[in-house]
Amino acid sequence: MSDALALQVGGTHYKTMAIQPVEFALVNELNTAQANIIKYVCRHLAKDGARDLKKAIHYCDLWLDVFVANDMPWGRVGIEWRPAAGIEYGISVAEFVAANGLPTAVAQVVTLICEGPTRARVKTARAVLVGLLMKHYGEAA
């Protein structure tokens, strides 16, 4: 682990992860929305609970709104296009999920937003987040 990844300012919620969300996001060139959704869903049980899930939901909404408003293509979003284009990435979704022992619903969100995300898949990820919010905290989005 690098010195930067070993250092955490405020708390220990990432230091317990074998592969930190920021490392996964940077290695795979994820966009800001993807990186933040992963960060918040992965840490919700260890840090800010319902607030983290609401932030992840908000990033789904932002991502959907910006892509729709700007008529942006979904084809080069996510990590599955890189191998087909001859671009290798260093950490697969399966490796990230397994290394961190992520719960099924959290793994589902990560998979939906990283492997071939489309409007429908981001909406499904949002629905899973809303379900987690209700299940763990009894709150609606």
Phi, psi of 108 (to 5 degrees): -65, -45
What is the residue-averaged pLDDT of the chain? 85
> Could you report the per-residue pLDDT of 85-113, keeping only the tens digit for each?
555 667 889 999 999 999 999 999 999 99
Query: Domain total for the chain?
Result: 1
In a domain, 55, yes or no: yes
Burial of 4: CB neighbours in 10 Å, binned 0-12, 13-18, 19+: exposed
In a domain, 39, yes or no: yes
CA distances from 38 to 13, 24, 70, 84, 86 (A): 13, 9, 23, 24, 25
Of 15-19, 79-83, 109-113, 123-127, give the lowest mean pLDDT range.
Answer: 79-83
Q: How confident is the model at residue 79 (pLDDT cuts 50, 70, 90)?
A: low
In a domain, 15, yes or no: no
In a domain, 2, yes or no: no
In a domain, 56, yes or no: yes
Q: What's the confidence (pLDDT) of residue 130?
A: 98
Q: What's the confidence (pLDDT) of residue 115?
A: 81
Q: What's the confidence (pLDDT) of residue 21?
A: 95
Strands (E), the chain: none
Pair 54, 141: CB distance under 8 Å: yes
Dist. CA 71–CA 52, nearest whole Å = 28
In a domain, 113, yes or no: yes
> What is the value of pTM for the model shown?
0.86
In a domain, 4, yes or no: no
Name the more confident of 118 and 34. Answer: 34
User: For 86-127, what is the HEC assignment?
Assistant: CCCCCCCHHHHHHHHCCCHHHHHHHHHHHCCCCHHHHHHHHH
Q: What's the confidence (pLDDT) of residue 141?
A: 83
The residue segments making up the domain with residue 129 are 23-137
Evaluate if residue 3 carries a pLDDT over 90: no
